[in-house]
Structure 1
Amino acid sequence: RKEITDEFFNYRHLSQKQLWDQYSAYEHWAKIEVPKDKEELAALQARLRKRFPVDSYNKARKELDPNRILSNNMLEKLFPLSDTI
């Protein structure tokens, strides 16, 4: 199992590096993995901001789910809420 997972991430990294920007490609939302590295996380957050209206989404999250009942660790990492929204 570990070998398969490692190979998947190697392939994903290679295709991301060589193809995604050139062809405006994005992974399926269910295939997004939250990076452990802070720089990689910041890059992913910036990439998501380019593609999606993150500020509007976070504004709706704050308004409709102020206690973050419908949130999870992945959402909190990828779309952090700021006090300015």
Structure 2
Amino acid sequence: MLVVIANDLPPAVRGRMKLWFVEPRANVFVSGINDSVATTVVDYLYKYCPPESGLLIFKSIPRPPGFEMMCIGPPRKSTMTISGMQLIVETLKTS
């Protein structure tokens, strides 16, 4: 499975994504494509999406935790790896 969340995609890339993915919300793409096609799609995104696209990609992998996170451009929330597990850092807001 491959999930792509974007801030903004170039029109040509968004059109191509609609060939492989379901778009349940604007700029959120989900597909159950196999691993070799998913690698091809990720390579395509890295080649044709500028950093301003703000992509967060979740790709399923056959080992724990079952997914891999990748970013194109600076993410809104930072990520870190602890014991091989990729996590999104949430900041605690105090009022």
- Flag whether TM exceeds 0.5 (same fold): no
State the structure with more CA Rg.
Answer: 1
More helix as a share of residues: 1
More strand as a share of residues: 2
TM range (shorter): 0.3 to 0.5
Query: What TM-score does the superposition give when structure 2 sets the normalisation length?
Result: 0.30
Query: What TM-score does the superposition give when structure 1 sets the normalisation length?
Result: 0.33
